[in-house]
Amino acid sequence: TKGLILREPGAARGIRIADPEEDPLAEKRVPHLPIVSRTASDEPNRLRLRPSGSMYVDPAMLSGYDPDLCLIGRVSDDGFSENGIWRGDFVVVAELPAHRLMDDDTVAALVGESFLARRFTYGLSRYALHPAHRSYETINTRDNDPDCYLIGRVVGVIRRV
């Protein structure tokens, strides 16, 4: 049971809504992640300072990752639409440095003030962020580039219907 509806034993139609003051998800240790707001790539330390909100996510989505090192961002373009991530989708991101990522991982990055999803390749202290849609260009950059901040691995997508 999720704890949203409670049964009253022995009563006809014996159900009731759980106390609205209680948060039934909090006691089940469901991760509650910040939704980051627009942040410039040259100020990555401000990424978590002013979240635009927060969202509960399925713990299975974060399997193997520390929820305290995860966040949610809204994708700024359709550059990864061929792989199913569209402009406006929320992506759940495990914050990881470039050396902990694998070639062909789907990653999130700040480029200027844009929050992008791309395919990652790495080599000789440089990396490339490849779009899935051919009308977008590959971004070639290096570690510590103020115009591009690699946030980490995309571990889930959340879309409004």
Tell me the pLDDT tens digit for each residue of 19-77.
656 555 555 678 899 999 878 888 888 888 888 999 999 999 999 999 999 999 999 99
Average pLDDT over every residue of 6-23: 70
Alpha-carbon distance 31 to 107, whole Å?
20
pLDDT at 43: 87
Q: How many C-beta atoms lie closer than 10 Å to residue 28's C-beta? A: 11
Collapsed DSSP state (helix, strand, coil) of residue 74: strand
pLDDT category of residue 107 using cuts at 50, 70 and 90 = very high
Cβ contacts of 127 within 8 Å, gap of 6 or more: 98, 120, 121, 140, 141, 142, 143, 150
Q: What is the phi/psi pair of residue 39, to 5°?
A: -140, 140
pLDDT category of residue 1 using cuts at 50, 70 and 90 = very low
